[in-house]
Amino acid sequence: MQADRTKVIRMLKTARGQLDGLIKMVEDDRYCIDISNQILATTAILRSVNRQIIHAHLGSCVADAFEHGDADKKIEEIMSLMDKLMK
């Protein structure tokens, strides 16, 4: 993985902490909108991490594949990922 590992790990640990907090909020029967806002915040972190990883992949793995004539496989991977993101 070519993304900044330290930053990615920190953000994923933050998201994990937020998920733990969400579980506690549900267990404590907290207000629905508060829970939903926390879900949105956690989702935003995960989207940001995913974006960083995809950008790094495009800038390194995909670029290398184009230089070495293996672009077709990488293009198919990205297209498959885009299909999943668009659902």
Rounded to 5°, angle at Cα 86 from 15 and 2: 55
Q: How far apart are CA 66 and CA 63, in angstroms?
A: 5
**Dihedral of the CA atoms 54, 7, 46, 25 (nearest 10)?**
170
Domain membership of residue 13 as a residue range: 5-85
Which tens digit of pLDDT belongs to each residue from 12-35?
A: 999 999 999 999 999 999 999 999
Task: Give the relative orientation of helices 5-27 and 32-57 as an angle to the nearest 10 degrees.
Answer: 160
Highest mean pLDDT among 17-26, 50-59, 60-69, 76-85: 17-26
Residue-level pLDDT at 3:
76
Structurally, the chain folds into a number of domains equal to 1
The answer to whether the CB of 73 falls within 8 A of the CB of 65 is yes
- Over range 62-66, report the average pLDDT: 87
Which CATH number belongs to the domain containing residue 32 in this structure? 1.20.58.1000
Quote the pTM value: 0.83
